[in-house]
Chains A and B, each alone.
Chain A
């Protein structure tokens, strides 16, 4: 039997606010234990929550970015359960009426575009951390994280493979960073994914029983966990078994998922509207002001690159993979005043490659957009050849000299004097009579060899296009 995989993803994105969602305590990661847990966060008797405007604004910004419906009125509810890292014995979340409903996110898999539908996104508070190591027979509780604002983003079960799931997670990750609502740091837990995975016989509409996989703190783990889980479920079903709906934990060391001890009352959270918090109203004017402050979104930028700049779909997609990349490109072509395709090919090619090799982020690059523009100007005006440009780029990467200085110092200026080139071409034709003859006889390959000879004699300083024009003219004559 052929099986189809069905995946939905739930993501918890920590919103990058200065203070917590319901208290004035600080949020930075890594503080000493409990030093950022204020009276509200540790749920002293009598304390009350007051919601953070910026957390709400960030949720709205996300909703606008994915084309979702922003609920003008949403409700904070209490999700009741007992756990030592949940100080109030309930988590303030949104249940029946979330702030964001619907929306879509575009992903690319194998060059194909796919729209993944989102169900909802709602605001809630994070719990503290339980530290199981270091204390014999005890667990230590650090409540610094308690009350950190989270946006829980729930997708529809629209993904059909681990690759699509990863593409979705990456696109979402890029989006939350693009609109600056989350720092996306997966090691620190700022962006956490759970995957709901099920399989069904191909062609069947009815969804299979799903398992929720938790603890996926990297894209690689997400991919591997889903792959394992799909194999496991298919094996169970093919052996005539049934899948139990349960929560499973991914164990990266063993590369497998295993069942979590299920809490028998986990399903009875006794949600009810939080009486401490009145209905959350988001006015039309507020939404409008958030909308107008929103920078151009990846999809719009991608479309504009193709339509206005004439870039390929591929280049446009690569350039809009991250906000930093797109901003670098925008700065570059802004400085250059055009040269869109040249800029795109350099940013997606040489520049990305060298950053990857060095393991650097764009903002850490020794070559700024201004420096790169200096180089590309010389490529565009034919001062240097493509080959020399590579040499100049390497020199810029390793040093502080600008492109013009390197070109001058190394004498890389392209020969643009046509008289000199004509002489070199004549000499090459003369000394390569065989190839010249072959070319005239229709063997195009021979021509490349002649161009190569000219380039060699000019030490790469000739413009290959100019060389080929001269050669063609002379050989035709």
Chain B
């Protein structure tokens, strides 16, 4: 099953990546090559096989409820693109 140009544009929007028509065309053919490769895996009979999410069959370790972090916002915000009044600023978000 091949992807369409609309698929590429929809996915690019979902992933928040600007893409113009020419790029979308180029990416489309590359993605279709990749999905041709991927198709080999789709033919495998995996009935009764548990999906494997993690390399090791272990369960989650939990942390005790303790405050271990102190305020470092000045340090963190020293690398931020736009900060004012200790807030990260972004173009106006309209709801």
Identify the A interface with B (CB < 8 A): 17-19, 23-26, 32-40, 42, 44, 50-56, 73, 82-84, 130-132, 134-135, 137-143, 249, 260-261, 265, 268, 270, 273, 275, 277-281
Please state if B92 and A141 are interface contacts (CB–CB under 8 Å).
Answer: no
Please state if B87 and A25 are interface contacts (CB–CB under 8 Å).
Answer: no
Please state if A24 and B91 are interface contacts (CB–CB under 8 Å).
Answer: no
Please state if A140 and B65 are interface contacts (CB–CB under 8 Å).
Answer: no
List residues of chain B with CB within 8 A of the CB of A18. 65-67
Q: Complex formed: what's the CA distance from A456 to B73 in Å?
A: 73
Please state if A52 and B62 are interface contacts (CB–CB under 8 Å).
Answer: yes
Please state if A132 and B93 are interface contacts (CB–CB under 8 Å).
Answer: yes
Please state if B93 and A35 are interface contacts (CB–CB under 8 Å).
Answer: no
Q: Complex formed: what's the CA distance from A154 to B61 in Å?
A: 27
List residues of chain B with CB within 8 A of the CB of A42. 76
Name B41-95 residues within 8 Å CB distance of A: 53-54, 58-69, 71-73, 76-77, 82, 84-95
Which listed residue, B14, B71, B90, touches A139 by the CB 8 Å rule? B90
Q: Complex formed: what's the CA distance from A139 to B17 in Å?
A: 21
Q: Complex formed: what's the CA distance from A38 to B58 in Å?
A: 28
Q: A34-B86, A34-B87 are in contact. Are A19 and B65 (CB under 8 A)?
A: yes
Q: Complex formed: what's the CA distance from A34 to B90 in Å?
A: 15
**Chain B 2-15: CB-based contact to A (< 8 A → 1; otherwise 0):** 00000000000110
List residues of chain A with CB within 8 A of the CB of B82. 138
Please state if B69 and A38 are interface contacts (CB–CB under 8 Å).
Answer: yes
Within the complex, the shortest CB–CB distance from A56 to chain B, in Å, comes to 6
Which listed residue, A32, A54, A249, A281, touches B60 by the CB 8 Å rule? A281
**Given A17-B65, A36-B71, A37-B76, 15 new contacts (CB under 8 A):** A19-B63, A23-B69, A33-B86, A42-B76, A53-B63, A131-B87, A132-B95, A138-B84, A139-B91, A142-B87, A261-B94, A273-B53, A278-B58, A278-B60, A279-B59
Within the complex, the shortest CB–CB distance from B3 to chain A, in Å, comes to 16
List residues of chain B with CB within 8 A of the CB of A17. 65
B16 in contact (CB, < 8 A) = yes
Q: Complex formed: what's the CA distance from A25 to B58 in Å?
A: 26
Q: Complex formed: what's the CA distance from A211 to B85 in Å?
A: 38
Among B67, B68, B77, B90, find the residue whose CB has the most chain A CB atoms closer than 10 A. Answer: B67
Q: Complex formed: what's the CA distance from A319 to B57 in Å?
A: 49
Q: Which bucket holds chain B's interface residue count? A: 35 or more
Please state if A84 and B93 are interface contacts (CB–CB under 8 Å).
Answer: yes
Please state if B63 and A50 are interface contacts (CB–CB under 8 Å).
Answer: yes
Please state if B14 and A52 are interface contacts (CB–CB under 8 Å).
Answer: no
Please state if A34 and B73 are interface contacts (CB–CB under 8 Å).
Answer: yes
Which listed residue, B58, B66, B69, B89, touches A141 by the CB 8 Å rule? B89
Which listed residue, A25, A33, A130, touches B69 by the CB 8 Å rule? A25
Please state if B93 and A19 are interface contacts (CB–CB under 8 Å).
Answer: no
Please state if B65 and A277 are interface contacts (CB–CB under 8 Å).
Answer: no
Which listed residue, B14, B65, B72, B88, touches A38 by the CB 8 Å rule? B72
Q: Complex formed: what's the CA distance from A34 to B73 in Å?
A: 6
Please state if A280 and B60 are interface contacts (CB–CB under 8 Å).
Answer: yes
Please state if B13 and A265 are interface contacts (CB–CB under 8 Å).
Answer: yes
Within the complex, the shortest CB–CB distance from A292 to chain B, in Å, comes to 20
Among A42, A56, A268, find the residue whose CB has the most chain B CB atoms closer than 10 A. Answer: A42
List residues of chain B with CB within 8 A of the CB of A268. 14
Q: A38-B72, A275-B53, A278-B54 are in contact. Are A52 and B63 (CB under 8 A)?
A: yes
In the complex, residue of chain B having the shortest beta-carbon distance to the beta carbon of A129? B87
Q: Complex formed: what's the CA distance from A283 to B64 in Å?
A: 16
Q: A35-B71, A265-B14 are in contact. Are A137 and B65 (CB under 8 A)?
A: no
Please state if A138 and B95 are interface contacts (CB–CB under 8 Å).
Answer: no
Q: Please, could you name 20 A-B residue pairs with CB atoms under 8 Å apart, sorted by A? A: A17-B65, A18-B66, A19-B65, A19-B66, A33-B73, A33-B85, A33-B86, A34-B88, A51-B60, A73-B59, A82-B16, A84-B90, A130-B93, A132-B93, A135-B87, A139-B92, A140-B88, A140-B89, A141-B87, A268-B14
Within the complex, the shortest CB–CB distance from B62 to chain A, in Å, comes to 4
List residues of chain A with CB within 8 A of the CB of B66. 18-19, 24
List residues of chain B with CB within 8 A of the CB of A56. 62
Q: A39-B76, A53-B64 are in contact. Are A278 and B59 (CB under 8 A)?
A: yes
Please state if A51 and B54 are interface contacts (CB–CB under 8 Å).
Answer: no
Q: Complex formed: what's the CA distance from A40 to B76 in Å?
A: 11
Please state if A24 and B68 are interface contacts (CB–CB under 8 Å).
Answer: yes
Within the complex, the shortest CB–CB distance from A460 to chain B, in Å, comes to 57
Please state if B65 and A135 are interface contacts (CB–CB under 8 Å).
Answer: no
List residues of chain A with CB within 8 A of the CB of B85. 33, 134, 140
Which listed residue, A26, A44, A50, touches B76 by the CB 8 Å rule? A44
List residues of chain B with CB within 8 A of the CB of A265. 13-14
Q: Complex formed: what's the CA distance from A140 to B61 in Å?
A: 35
